[in-house]
Amino acid sequence: MKQAKSTVSKAPRGAGLLGVTSSAGSSVLGSSALDSSSLGASHQEAQTPLQKAVDQYLIHLRVERGSSEHTIASYARDLRRYSTYMATLGVIDPERITTAQVRSFMRELAAPTVPLAGFVAGFEAGEKDNQNAREAREAQEEAAESLALMIASESGRGTGNGRAEKGRVGQPEKAGAPEKETPTVEGSPSLPLPLGSNSIARTMAAVRGAHAFWVSALIVPTDPAAPVTPPKNVKRLPKAVSVEDIQRLLAVPDRETATGLRNRAILEFLYATGARVSEMLNVDIDDVHFEGTLTDEDGNQVTLPGYVRLFGKGNKERLVPIGSYAQKAIQDYLVRARPSLVAHGKGTAALFVNGRGGRLGRQGAWLILKEAAEAAGLSSDFSPHSMRHSFATHLLQGGADIRVVQELLGHASIATTQVYTKVTPEGLMEVYRMAHPRAHERG
């Protein structure tokens, strides 16, 4: 049995301790980053006090909170935009941020007014009387350039493999849609697209969390973000598909090819376990245990059910049963397909691999599900998460206890699972027709 994964998982190759780009545009270094002397004099001088505070918060998320790679990357992106916006107001120290400025930033997210090219110009107004003004402005310009490049590349970025061979792929959090750049005439400044309420709430959660940490760490004396109320998240019903649609989807892959066997195993695995795509990508071969029998000390035959070990948000481990259909699909893939796929690589413990023999990445998994959904004639809004929604919805429709579903999904709160108990319009009408005495004439 493998040991449980450490809270501080290995970052992707080429990344530092955080596995993300720091607020100053450079990667926070390895574990030695906790020692400020290891960062180097030039790096220390280049960062503003606000950027240094942001990096401290990101390290806190990784080391003390055990947050996932995607959570840290999302928070780093949001706080980079926050610190850059504050620089346009002439603020480069977290202690000087006011509640009015935090509210101004939230309004900026909903209705952008500062063009990307305007960030650098805004720095000229900041801290001219500071003895380190020259170094601070250089750091701000570097941060602005990083932010501009980040926003310009958001809509076209691919996640790829995103994992060092012995590490784990990060988990997706409840992040809003990536920020995109509006089309502009060449040479004119561009504005980021306005964010929706859910994306603003996510961004402000990062800002409020950072300010609360700075107060607790005695970096600043007060919390200007505490009085700021972010917009409420818009609750939407999960988009689940019918059992018949799932059956059509599972029948799409070609069982005579290696990639077809792999794709069928992936689809069966997701529907059988309700795993997040990132959790599925993290699974190694020895995380899967197939159904079997053994003889106990009294000579009785004991049947052991099939199950898989998943690592969810916060690297929390849970065991989830696997049905017989999924077990058969995975066994077929392991015997008939995986050996030929890994022959192209250097060897990996990953359960699902790509055509180059390495661990399958998020983008590859997304394309597999998208192509299968199109071939099955499912709606265009079908996503990898639709399999998870369908898993939960079908379990509850079949009479499963909501607490059991919560455990299988790995939800920390029952409130998250309760969204699946909401009645759909179709279900509401069906109950009405069956239960109301005058819903229709009775013969």
Catalytic positions, written as ranges: 276, 313, 385, 388, 411, 420
User: Roughly how many angstroms between the first and final C-alpha of the chain, as a whole number?
Assistant: 63
- Residue 309 backbone dihedrals phi, psi, to 5 degrees: -95, 120
Rg value, the chain, Cα: 25
How does 322-341 read in b/e, with b if 16+ C-beta sit within 10 Å?
A: beeebbebbebbbeebbeeb
- 166 burial type by CB count under 10 A (0-12 exposed, 13-18 middle, 19+ buried): exposed
CB 66 within 8 A of CB 7: yes
H/E element holding 260? helix 258-273
Query: Which amino acid appears at position 106 of this protein?
Result: M
| Six token digits for residue 324 | 């017989």
User: What DSSP assignment string belongs to 420-439?
Assistant: GGSPPHHHHHHHHHHH-TTS
User: What DSSP assignment string belongs to 159-196?
Assistant: --S-S-TTS-PPPP-S--PPP-BPP--TTS---BPPPP
Q: Give the SS3 label for residue 418.
A: helix
Q: What torsion do the CA atoms of 421, 426, 428, 432 make, to the nearest 10 degrees? A: -150
- Residue 416 backbone dihedrals phi, psi, to 5 degrees: -65, -40
Query: Which amino acid appears at position 166 of this protein?
Result: K
CA distance 24 to 321: 45
Bridge partners of 303, per DSSP, are 293
CB 328 within 8 A of CB 336: no
Q: For 310, which DSSP code?
A: E
User: What DSSP assignment string belongs to 356-384?
Assistant: TSSBPPHHHHHHHHHHHHHHTT--TT--H
Query: Which amino acid appears at position 66 of this protein?
Result: G
Tell me which residue of 152, 136, 44, 150 sits closest to 87, measured CA to CA: 136
